[in-house]
Structure 1
Amino acid sequence: MFNRPSSWWRRLLGWLERLSIQRRLFLSYIIIILIPTFLVSLWIFRELKNSYIEDLVKKGQKGLEIEAISVKLNIETMERSAQLTLSNKEMLYYLDRSSETSTADLIEFKDSVYSAIQQIQFNNPNLEHIRVYMNGNKTPEIWPIFLRESRIQSKPWYEGALRLNRQEMWSFELSDIDPLQENASKKLDAVPKLSLLREIEYPKDQHAGILQVDMPLARFFPNTFQQSGDRQSQMLVMDQEGRLFYNANTAFWQALGLQLEVLTSKLKAQLTKGSGSFQFSDHGASYLAVFQPIERLGVYSLQLTSLEQAFRDINWIRNWILLVNVILFALLSISTYSLTSLILKKLRLLSESMKKVRKGEFHFNIAVYGQDEVGELAHHFRKMLSKINDLIAEGVDKRAASKEAELRTLKNQIDSHFLYNTLENIKMLAEIEQQHGISDALTSLGVMMRYNLRWTSEFTKLGDELDHLHHFVALMNLRFDDQTELDTSALTPYADQELLKMTLQPIVENAMKHGRRTGPGRASLRITALAHVEGDVLILTLTDNGAGIAPQRLDQLNLAIRQRQATHPPGPPPAGETMTGSGHGIGLSNVHQRIEMTYGYGCGLRLESEEGSWTRVIVTVPYRMLKGGAPHA
């Protein structure tokens, strides 16, 4: 169960590894650039929409607050007018009359009470009517203020007005109907109005009539019913019965495709106590409604805003930005594809070149150049091919030199048994003649000849090389009056060390020929051999107590040893090639070249000397002990 995510991850990595570099780059662009850009753009525009809606809500709330101030002033105006009317005692006496009114009393009433009420209406131009509906039958009607209560008994608010008990009542009407018209459906004015209703009791607790103060909604809600060219928002009022009151002649309602039934149902479902806002949609169009209650009237004042144009503009900008991102992504992908194609073309050339090298083809050129990373890689690849060709040529030269040395060895081995037998016969004659010195010299010479002519391998043990060296010194002592002493006892622990044949003889021969002191007080030549191990190399030193070498000459010899090309291929140095003053270091140079070619750079020999005191030859070879015929470090 816990291995499933890791298994899924491994499969995903395997699938990615099988894709080409170009497809990986394209996929990474999609994941790193395109998808985040889309998500960020969507988030930004969503926040932009939310911010826009918040601004609309604040704007709507501010508009509703301004409208609420106007409504409050109009409510106070209507209440004050009603209170002034009800405070007229003469009017109350008139309503309470139980006898017929004379003409003189009517004229006086009209000049005083009627004119006072009419003056209240004139002082408040927003008021449309002040009407007093009389319950008594003895008082005549005086149009348009004093009318019979029987004319309004069909009004929906009439029964409620009878039960007000000194309270007030507010009623919305869709039109202003003249009570004197016999046909109540005939309208005096189609403009809706708001009525303030008060029951008239006189004397106390005795119903005398109903007071009605009217104000058109266009004046009561000035901002709601004003003529505006705003096609995006409009204010409206909804009463307790769910009826909507608004200015139907504005540009907003003319452009709006919203059905009033749908709007009413949405508002009824969302309106709650207190103020707030909500969004709704109809036929794909979005709307914002900001509402605020007018508690004195029991209605809601609303600001309705169409979000279509704003959302359309925001979506248009969003789509354009996304389209620009897609175009930029496409351009980036195309440019990246072109650049990677150039890079991959060079890499394919390098890959084909590597395949040729794997097949054994080394003599070709790579046509890839430049200062970038691929160009640098191609440059080093060309250098590697050149180095491989040099190593192959060097290996061929070594093999040819080795074959030539083997042929030379075979030539030297012709009739070797004849020579050995001849020397044995001469030795027997010397023994018979009691010439023991000659017999010993012939023994040393025979051993040396066997060692030199038995050239089956380039390598030998240090112990065998030292035995050969002692025989060589014994023969050389026959040539010189001064005896040479060779001390190799310190090398006994390294007798099994691997060494190239004929490495030490040229060094000792050079010391015996050129290291002897001349003149009075000269001493016998003593050569001391020492050895020690440093890391993975063995350092051999052969030091004599001879005449030494001048510093300038010593530098020339060390330089000649390292720079001189070997005159002969690897193998035993030809006779007579020793380090003489006129030989230019051919013998030691040959030894150095053989060691360096066999073991590599860092191995070889060098000279140290102090003029008049000593000379030391230092030989550096890998530390390898031969046991049972195989090298062992």
Structure 2
Amino acid sequence: MMKIFSSLSIKLISAFVIFVLIPIYLALLLLYQQYSNTLESKVQDYSNKSFEQMYQLVGSRLLDLVRVSNGIILNPATKQILERGSGESNWQYQLDMDTLDRTFDEAQNTGRVSSIYFTLVTRDGRVFGNWSSLPGKGQTASEWYANAVKHSPFPVWMPLQDNFLRNSSTKSPMVSMAQAIEGNSGVLRTSIEQSQIDKWLSEIKNSWTTLIYNEQGELIYGHDEELPDELKRDLESNYISWNSVDIHQFNRSGFRVISQGLPLKGWTVVQLLDEAELYKDIRFLMKSFTLFSLISLLVFIGVTALVTSRITRPLKKLRWAMKRVGEGDWDAEVAITTKDEVSHIALHFNRMVRQIGDLFGQLREEERKKSEIYYESLLAQVNPHFLFNTLSSIKWTASISKAHHVADLISSLGKILEMSTSRVEDRISLRQEIDYVQHYMKLQYARFGERVSLSILVPDELQQAMIPKFVLQPLVENAILHGFEQHEIRGEIRIEAEAHDGRLILFVLDNGKGFGEEKLRQLFAKKPAGDTPEHRQISGIGLRNVQERIRMLYGPQYGMMFASEEGISTVVRIVLPLVMGKEEHLYVQSAYRG
């Protein structure tokens, strides 16, 4: 019995039931809530977008209506007619009517709203308009006239009214706005048919029901005939609480309700969507997903037993290959005969074994290079005690002879040889490397005079950064040999340093003759041929040596990069890790006493 349960296939099936099947069924219980939250977020985004579209389309055009109304009110012809008074003749009244007709037509052509109907009522009771059946006198005593005068100079949106156009084919209710004229000399009522706003909203192509209320909570646009009475009462009772600039979202009587007030425009917009329509797709998706999950689970359980038997065979081969690798056989590989997950493991295993084998090969090659470099350095060594004692004797002889300039040159040469022959430290501070470069330049000043100059721009905080020996001096020497020696210009060399993202970046810049790609390859050659300037370098260290030492110490992501323009300049950029050290003397025992 225990042997059966130790089988890999049984373990896989058991693990699947415990860790996959049961959690899936538990997850299904929470799925509805999860989808509800997701839907809520989507509805929020959808409603905000719909709201924005509605305001951009309908809101902007209703504001056009306000601008058209203001245009008529501010028209000089309108003011002149209002100032004339009621003592005019019928002939004058007809002239005024013609004048206002032209004014109404001109104003209507300036906006994006068509079929606007104007009614101008003067303070003395005269009525003008661009529609045939004008109301009679006595409009100054009407509620809408008094309300417009009360809120002057702001426009007042009136509740929906019956269509007053005899020739209208739709008989759609009228959406109207009334605005008092300056000095309360009259009121202009501007109206459009509700069907025109319906046409605007149809361009948005959504299933929302849109209602617009005025500041008194009266419906100025919308079709609320089919809404439940309970929802209508709820909207009326809650109107004051959501009549603000904030967006409100809530559920009422099976509808999703979204509202926002715009007090400056005198509107509050309410949008409604039937929740049954809103949740229809998600409920269908829930049922489909549940059915699909149950079928998938049953099929997967049946297939699991078959799959596990195919898994065990390549796993045994993989175990055998791992054992060979553990014994040091880097040629061991797993034969890949399938395209399943185990084959991917075997593929990556083979790749890993090859990479480890290559890494061991690289390590052996690096050790060989280190031995070769060390051997070459041994060949280049000279007995330091003999050189230093000889130089010390020459320096004192020069000093006694009062040849102080020669004594300084010998002292600098001694410092250079002292550092060149020392094997105590592989890394020194940037300050020490700069001192070495300055001693080297003293020798070059004696040779070239004012033809060459060196400037160093290194922040104090980077002076203690640790770098490999002989990084800057070979580059300065290379600039002189290849840039200035056979180039009749005043040579300028500049050393700069900066730190960035944990890296120390050094720059060596010169205004020499520069070089092309072929010359750069020669400079990086392992053994330059012929009597080239490389054979005359005081350190015997070429650019290739500097590059290899940097990458051997820190890795291939560090090293030197060249930018050169022939006849103009050369810039060398050296990237090293930023490692700060303490100021210590470089040499444990100095043989030179200069």
What range is the shorter-chain TM-score in?
0.3 to 0.5
Give the structure-2-normalised TM-score: 0.44
Give the structure-1-normalised TM-score: 0.42
